[in-house]
Each structure stands twice: as structure tokens, then as C-alpha cells.
Amino acid sequence: EPEVTQTPSHQVTQMGQEVILRCVPISNHLYFYWYRQILGQKVEFLVSFYNNEISEKSEIFDDQFSVERPDGSNFTLKIRSTKLEDSAMYFCASSEARNRQETQYFGPGTRLLVL
Amino acid sequence: AQSVTQLDSHVSVSEGTPVLLRCNYSSSYSPSLFWYVQHPNKGLQLLLKYTSAATLVKGINGFEAEFKKSETSFHLTKPSAHMSDAAEYFCVVRSGGGADGLTFGKGTHLIIQP
């Protein structure tokens, strides 16, 4: 069964450094998403992406964040200058369509620790 | 605006006994509702979803959930727990208002006692 994959599974970085989290969505999916979960808190929506553009973003997704689909398979989340509060589990997801009934399929997550 | 409340952060049951994980939601529009499960070091896997068809929804691994609009609830049940059901369960809502993002509950950790 096709799966969303994410690399790395864990990343440790120093405050102020740039990090890039990578995701490979399911191959025939057109819509891509990033979510994050700070330890002990809810999973929160960050951004959705379609046709090489951001479709929607939450208040969390400020200028420090960017997303890109650099080639036909990868979907990346970049944090330009990490802060301590960026420490979280980051989940990538993808879906075939955008309607509210559509299932979003999630990857296993990347655990980011900012020191 | 939409929100999800999972009423229990932890639920412990004995193997072979019924499971009930409770979820209440609020949504300004007709929502879709989902239950996802997360086993350790695995991604979030869809268990089942409600999308305005039948109010009783059957999912994988013997789980089912009933959409009750009058109670704004979408509780997850299973008649007989198995050790492999031990995991974190998330109730999720997506509004019909056109928003892309899913809104998650805080999760319920299901513990199965042998």
C-alpha cells in the first residue's frame, strides 16, 4: 500500500540554524500538507500546497517557514532560523483531492529538537 | 470555526472487553469527521470517516463510530479489545466551509490490560 514517507525521522539543531524537513507524498496525490505537534499539545495545521502554490496557511506559518516542491516527488518544509519553540513533531500529509470528505494520508513524522 | 474535544486523555480496558473513546465536536458547517490511530513510531493511520452518508460508520480492525448531530458527538467503539489496539487515537474534524486544514483533538491513549 502506498505510504507517505518523511526524512529524517529525528533532527537536532541549534537555535538560529536553518532546517529542511523532507516528505515524499503518495505518487498520484496532488494536495500536500504540513502539520506539527508540540509535545503535549494538539496536532496543528500549518500549510496546504497545490499546483506549486500555497493554498492555505495558518497563523503559525509565518515568514520563517516556507514550502517547496523541488522536483516531481519531494515536498519540503524549511524553517529559516529555528527557535526553541519550533521543537515539535512535524507531519507531512497528502490527498488526491481537496474536498472535505477526502482522506489526508500522513507520514510517520520528523521529530525536531532545537537547542 | 471548528473544534474537537476528546473527553479522556487515557482509557484503560482489559483485553476482550469493549472500548469506548469519546469525542465531541463543534463546526459552523456540515463537517466531515475522522478517527486516526497512531502506533509508536508510525504515521497517523485512518481508522474511519463520516462524510454525511450513513451515521454509523464502520472502519478497520473492528472499530466503528456513530455520528450524532443532536449530541455533536462521534464516539469510537469496538466490541472486544485486542492487545494490538494499544495506541494513540485522534478524533479529527474538517469543516465544510472550505478550509483545507484538519482540526485535531488532543488524543486518547488507549491501554490494553492483559
Question: Mean per-residue pLDDT for B13-21?
Answer: 98
Give A2's strand partners: none
Query: Which tens digits make up the pLDDT trace of A26-71?
Result: 999 999 999 999 998 999 999 999 999 999 999 999 999 999 998 8
Query: Which tens digits make up the pLDDT trace of B85-112?
Result: 999 999 999 876 667 889 999 999 999 9
Going by C-alpha positions, the residue among B107, B68, B103, B112 that lies closest to residue B90 is: B107
Gap between the Cα atoms of A114 and B74, Å rounded: 37
pLDDT of residue B95: 78
Going by C-alpha positions, the residue among A47, A2, A52, A51 that lies closest to residue A26 is: A2
**Residues contacting residue B5 through CB under 8 Å, at least 6 positions apart:** B23, B24, B25, B105
Evaluate if residue B1 carries a pLDDT over 80.
no
Query: Which tens digits make up the pLDDT trace of B69-82?
Result: 999 999 999 999 99
Which residues in chain A have their CB less than 8 angstroms from residue B94's CB? 100
What is the radius of gyration, based on Cα positions, of chain A? 13
pLDDT of residue B100: 84
Across the interface, do B106 and A104 touch by the CB < 8 Å criterion?
A: no
Residue in chain B lying closest to A58 (CA): B101
What average pLDDT is seen over chain A?
A: 94
Across the interface, do B106 and A105 touch by the CB < 8 Å criterion?
A: no
Among A9, A31, A56, whose Cβ lies nearest the Cβ of B99?
Answer: A56
Evaluate if residue B41 carries a pLDDT over 90.
no
